[in-house]
Chain A
Amino acid sequence: MLLRSFARSFVTLAALAGPVSALERGRDGTLKILYWQAPTILNPYLSGGIKDIEAASLVLEPLARYGPEGVMRPWLAEDIPTLANGGISADKRSITWRLKPDLTWSDGSAVTAEDIRFTHAYCTAPGGGCSQADKFRGVADVEVLDPLTARVTFDAPRPNPYGPFVGPQAPILQAAQFSACLGPAAASCTEANFAPIGTGPFKVVDFRPGDAVQFEANPGYREPGKPAFADVTFKGGGTPAAAARTVLETGEFDYAWNLQLRPEMLSDMEARGKGRITAAFSTLVERLAFNLTDPDPALGDARSTLAHPHPVLSDADVRRALSMALDRPVMVEIGYGTSGRATCNIIPAPPAYASDANEDCLVQDLDGARAALDTAGWTDSDGDGVRDKEGRPLSLVLQTSTNAVRQDFQVLIKEWWRQIGVETELRNIEPSVFFGADPSSPDTFQKFYADVQMFAGASDGTDPEGYLSTWFCGRAPAPENQWQGANISRWCNPAFDALGEELSGTGGVEARAALARRMNDMLVQSHVVLPLVDRGRVSAHVLSLGGVEMNAWDSELWNIADWTRLPD
């Protein structure tokens, strides 16, 4: 009774305190977001597609995530476990996460360490086809120490233990909702996969796969007064140009994602004064990769395998000359505008990991390239404009996926290489074939039945250990591994592998960054792979939308709880 009257007087008090209502949850009405690729499922563990992961990030949250500067921030966890605070064991075999107190799911039940344990069990259950299994690789066990504490144990020392439960790809699932969805049953849980219960600022009201999602503010969200928006309409479909138009020209939507358009088209739209373009950079680098094995069709099944070194590109001087002939700033200007930066590093970020030893590649040097080819013995002996050596013309096949910017780049490269006496044949391949891993197709980028190819790649998160290890000796795609290796160039340098081993045993950001920079330098200075453009994420929002902090290390919508409608 006493409690009730107390509560009543409290409610009256709250009602009297009028101006406070200005910071009420849901005060700013509807937020409209457009993703031109529509989300098809809201369970990141079953998709792996960026559109799905970002749509789910409004609802599902990890223990820690990355801020725009690439630094980890505790999210559902109270703080980031480190060696110093005892969160990481001295032998680096375990990490102990502690949840913030009083967290609740949007259905009102408490978030516990059991949910953390369950999420690991869910993703590692055999037959489930979990797309984030890489995140949980090497995890021996996840134990519940008390209702708020879970300990992740690895089967070997792990200097960088922030894989599981960090970032939007590996959020915490509610054990109660997904307990019947383990392994092969995962696909049958349509209801849970379409409307996961989460801890985030919003909850799913209606999901139309491949079309639209309707969210509303989570009434139990942990921060009072957030989110500012009462609901979110998350529309999918169309094209990047249509998406840019709805924000920058008609103002029908507040936010549009991933606008890879011609730079002049975007700046013209932005000039109408309705919206703003934002870009952020992480590690996505457009590059040329050389094939160090011989793709000659005459070799049959031994094409592009280690048994036959490439007759031309095995020579590092030729590769260096081909790199010197490129004008990277021009490529950025033509293909990317503000959403790209010329780079000479395969690891361009975070700042601590970016080497400054390779800047000379930013300036085109056609004379230098010609001189290098002369020294390497490639001369134009028959005067046809194409260099040759021992009767073999310097002629290369450059392939990439079908994509307007890549085809522009192909033409540019062909022209620059022509100027140094190199003949280039261009090919482009449908993306789902090129990046598909069908071992029976001759056109996949893993098979690499060409001399040079262009594609983009990125490190998963801020730590490049796993990414750099893709250039290890044993990782070359080959018939024996169904062409599944990640070392596309088929490069092998034992010194590089040794540094990689050292990296996997080194703790501390400084020391790891120094090693990563050395490995980056070794890779790009041997010209196995030519970094071209550091590609950013580009999105646009209307001027009246406040709080947007573009983030390339995490979901773009990572801080949607802080977004507000600005007064006119």
Chain B
Amino acid sequence: MLRYTARRLFFALPTLLAISLVVFALLELAPGDPMAQLPQTISADVRAQMREALGLGEAAHIRYTRWLYQLAVVEPMVGIDALFGTAFSEGAPRLLSWQTRAPVMALLGERLPQTLIVVGLAYVIGVIVAIPLGVWSAYRRGGAFDRAATGAAMLSYAVPPFFSGAVLIWLFAITLGWLPSVYDTGLIVRDWDSLVAQIRQMALPVLVLSVQTTAQISRYMRAAMLDALGQDYITAARARGAPEGRVLMAHGLRNSLIPVVSIVAVGAPQIFAGAIVTEQIFGVNGIGALLVSSVQATDIPTIMAITMVLAVLIVAFNLMADLTYGWLDPRIRYD
């Protein structure tokens, strides 16, 4: 197991390096100009000077090497300095966003809380609702509950968030006036009232997102459970006279959770990616909204930083899912 983990970790590095090269090359080849959003009253030579100040005058390989150095060496050192009060990174050039001229990592840090709260909570709620839904659908396969759940799952999986979000805003914010349509990122939960305000502003985006997760995970759960319920050990348990609840929970659910856990784990990095559409609709302004606005403004350092952070997380979570798999199911041996 240890050897396997070490080998996987070792191979993760070239994977990430390759991803970074591909991302850089794609952005390099893509059309677009960080000055395109400026008013046309700003003259061409001023634009050229501004591009120069962003470091765009240099050759691509120099920019790539510097970017890699900043991301892999300078930024981790800044993190270490912040944690332990050291001064390794003093004077080193940090990775700066072109839109804000401020460190990209600080920007990500500022955006992460609302993304984690809204998208993370929606993911957790979605999974928690999906598991009993899938279990019961499988247990009562073909019954009214199963058919209703299947229909609901298909519908909510098929309806895109830009539609469901708009409908919910129309209903709850405009017609009924119960909930706000814009998320206030500056709200700090201090007392009962601010907690209520936070719950009210989270309600709609969390609902839109969790419905999507529920739809997806409950299908996997149902399939896995059906698979488990058809196994011999279920028949054996029933033949032994085990009560139905025990058959379902201890024998069925525990075995069928294995594939579901790995799907949940592999899907978890999405939380950090934020929800591009939903964040935009409700003004949550998390990582997803940052990615969109950076793409619109051709803010390449920010786009690359978000993509790389996600790449690292996806590689890490995949590794974690694989390892958990082996631990949950002793039949799987990697060595």
Contact = CB atoms under 8 A, between A and B. Distances in A.
A209 B99 contact: yes
Contact of A437 (B35, B106, B111, B285): B35
Contacts of A193: 100-102
A348 B53 CA distance: 36
Given A40-B99, A41-B101, A190-B103, A50 B39 contact: yes
Interface stretch (A143-151, A413-421, A425-433, A532-540): A425-433
A236 B285 contact: yes
A195 to B, nearest CB: 12
B181 interface: yes
Interface stretch (B41-49, B232-240, B267-275, B317-325): B41-49
B33 A438 contact: yes
Interface in B29-67: 31-33, 35-54
Interface in A243-275: 245-246, 249-250, 252-253
Nearest to A401: B36
Contacts of B38: 48-49, 131
Contacts of A210: 99-100, 107, 285, 289-290, 293
B186 A214 contact: yes
Interface string A200-219: 00000010111110100000
Q: Which of A184, A208, A431 has the largest number of chain B CB atoms within 10 A?
A: A208
A208 B296 CA distance: 18
B180 interface: yes
A249 B182 contact: no
A187 interface: yes
Contact of A486 (B36, B43, B100, B169): B43
A30 to B, nearest CB: 11
A46 B173 contact: no
Interface in A111-136: 127-134
B281 interface: yes
Interface string A170-212: 0000000000000010110010011000000000001011111
Given A187-B101, A206-B186, A443-B31, A458 B50 contact: no
Given A41-B101, A431-B36, A436-B35, A458 B293 contact: no
Contact of A211 (B47, B181, B285): B285
B101 A436 contact: no
A208 B290 CA distance: 12
Contacts of A526: none
B307 interface: no
B198 interface: no
Interface in B231-285: 280-281, 283, 285
Contact of B101 (A46, A245, A460): A46
B174 A238 contact: no
B276 to A, nearest CB: 12
B185 A186 contact: no
A235 B184 contact: yes
Contacts of B102: 41, 190, 193-194, 209
A407 interface: no
A209 B169 CA distance: 26
Interface string A60-80: 000000000000000000000
Interface residues of A, number: 61
Contacts of A154: none
A38 B293 contact: yes
Contact of A436 (B33, B97, B107, B289): B33
A5 interface: no
A468 B36 CA distance: 22
B80 to A, nearest CB: 20
A233 interface: yes
A321 interface: no
Nearest to A213: B186
Contact of B174 (A211, A249, A430): A249
A238 B50 contact: no
A190 B95 CA distance: 13
B46 A457 contact: no
A485 interface: yes
A441 interface: yes
A237 interface: yes
Given A432-B32, A484-B44, A208 B101 contact: no
Contacts of B39: 48-50, 458, 460
Contacts of B283: 235, 237-238, 242
Contacts, number: 176
Given A40-B100, A486-B44, A130 B49 contact: yes
A257 B219 CA distance: 44
Interface residues of B, number: 54
Given A38-B293, A459-B41, A129 B54 contact: yes
Contact of A187 (B36, B48, B96, B111): B96
Contacts of A485: 44
Given A38-B293, A128-B53, A432-B37, A186 B101 contact: yes
B181 A245 contact: yes
A438 B31 CA distance: 8
B235 to A, nearest CB: 56
A441 B181 contact: no
A129 B32 CA distance: 19
Interface string A213-243: 0100000000000000000010111110010
Nearest to A214: B186
Q: Which of B38, B99, B110, B111 has the largest number of chain A CB atoms within 10 A?
A: B99
Interface string B104-144: 00110011000000000000000000000000000000000
Contact of A208 (B42, B48, B97, B110): B110
Contacts of B31: 430, 432-433, 436, 438, 441, 443
B116 to A, nearest CB: 15
A129 B55 CA distance: 10
B156 interface: no
A458 B52 CA distance: 26
Interface string A306-323: 000000000000000000
B280 A239 contact: yes
Contacts of A430: 31-32
A457 B40 CA distance: 7
A250 B53 contact: no
Contacts of A433: 31-33, 36
Contact of A238 (B45, B99, B281): B281
A437 B38 CA distance: 11
A242 B107 CA distance: 24
B214 interface: no
A34 interface: yes
A49 B297 CA distance: 10
B182 A34 contact: yes
B53 A208 contact: no
Contacts of B106: 190
Nearest to B31: A433
B177 interface: yes
B315 to A, nearest CB: 27
A166 B32 CA distance: 31
A184 B53 CA distance: 7
Nearest to A457: B40
Shortest 6 CB-CB contacts between residues of A and residues of B: A129-B53, A436-B33, A484-B44, A460-B41, A436-B36, A209-B100
Interface of A: 34, 38, 40-41, 46, 48-50, 127-134, 184, 186-187, 190, 193-194, 206, 208-212, 214, 233, 235-239, 242, 245-246, 249-250, 252-253, 430-438, 441, 443, 457-460, 467, 484-486
Given A435-B33, A459-B41, 9 more contacts: A40-B99, A46-B101, A129-B54, A132-B46, A134-B46, A210-B293, A250-B180, A435-B37, A436-B35
15 contacts: A38-B285, A40-B100, A127-B53, A190-B106, A210-B107, A210-B289, A242-B281, A432-B33, A435-B37, A436-B35, A437-B33, A437-B47, A458-B39, A460-B39, A486-B43
Interface of B: 31-33, 35-54, 96-97, 99-103, 106-107, 110-111, 169, 173-174, 177, 180-182, 184-186, 280-281, 283, 285, 289-290, 293, 296-298
